[in-house]
Amino acid sequence: MSTSTGTRGPYRKSVERRREIVQTALDVFAERGYSSGSMREIAARAGLTQSGLLHHFASKEDLLTEVVELRDRQVDEALARHGAPPLLERMAVIAAHNRENRKLSSVFVILSAEAVAEEHPAHEYFRRRYERQHVETERAVREEQRSGRIRPDLDAGAVAAGLVALLDGFELQQELRPGFDPERAVRAFVSSLSVLPTGS
């Protein structure tokens, strides 16, 4: 009697193949952006025909969705490994993750810039993402203010918008400035939001 609970057979092979394709698409989008990266090139690098690639992903838009969601899943996993830290520490964890995963970070920078155009297939994804991110960050800022970790005199909405822009801006800087450390920069900036010790 088998006691294995692992996934076997064709389904497992299909899942692994999809992961390989997503990684290949990530490589192509990192080098060329979404607009210039082609399904033909992704298929060739993955060792597939175009029809074979379309068997796994119906369109380039489907692949794009997988790539951008991969980045968000990995950030969530990094935060979970740190036990869901408070907001300001969470910022530093995300910055460190971005520094250590440069290819995903590079793709995020490229795609988010391209997606400003309304006709871009990722436009709605990024628009919803930023709306959700702002709401969640503002809620977290208010919680930190109530707990005494962020100065209560600061406007929570403005702080939330600044923190979101901070992470994205540092992500861009690490692409253009060799040696730039986004985690160190985040820690230096967020310390200004903290409540000063009594008597300081």
Which H, E and C letters describe 19-64, residue by residue?
Answer: HHHHHHHHHHHHHHHHHHCCHHHHHHHCCCCHHHHHHHCCCHHHHH
DSSP state of 195: P
**Residue among 151, 167, 169, 177 nearest 79 (CA):** 167
Check: CB of residue 182 under 8 Å from CB of residue 191: no
Place of tokens 């698409």: 25
| Cα–Cα distance, 158 to 144 (Å, whole number) | 14
One digit per residue, the tens of pLDDT, for the chain of length 200 reads: 444 445 456 667 788 899 999 999 999 988 888 888 899 999 999 999 999 999 999 999 889 888 888 888 888 999 999 887 889 899 999 999 989 988 888 888 888 898 999 999 889 989 999 999 999 999 999 999 999 989 999 999 999 999 999 999 999 999 898 889 999 999 988 888 876 544 44
Q: What's the one-letter identity of residue 113?
A: A
* Domain parsing of the chain, residue ranges: 60-193
The reported pLDDT for the residue numbered 189 is: 87
Instruction: Could you please state the CATH topology (level 3) that the domain comprising 60-193 is classified under.
Output: Tetracycline Repressor; domain 2 (1.10.357)
Check: CB of residue 126 under 8 Å from CB of residue 146: no
| Cα–Cα distance, 80 to 146 (Å, whole number) | 23
The reported pLDDT for the residue numbered 11 is: 66
Q: How many CB atoms lie within 10 A of CB 150?
A: 23
Sign of CA dihedral 83, 87, 90, 92: negative
Cα angle 168, 172, 42; round to 5: 100
The reported pLDDT for the residue numbered 8 is: 56
The reported pLDDT for the residue numbered 198 is: 42
**Residue among 89, 79, 91, 193 nearest 145 (CA):** 193
* 3-state SS class at 165: helix
The reported pLDDT for the residue numbered 42 is: 95
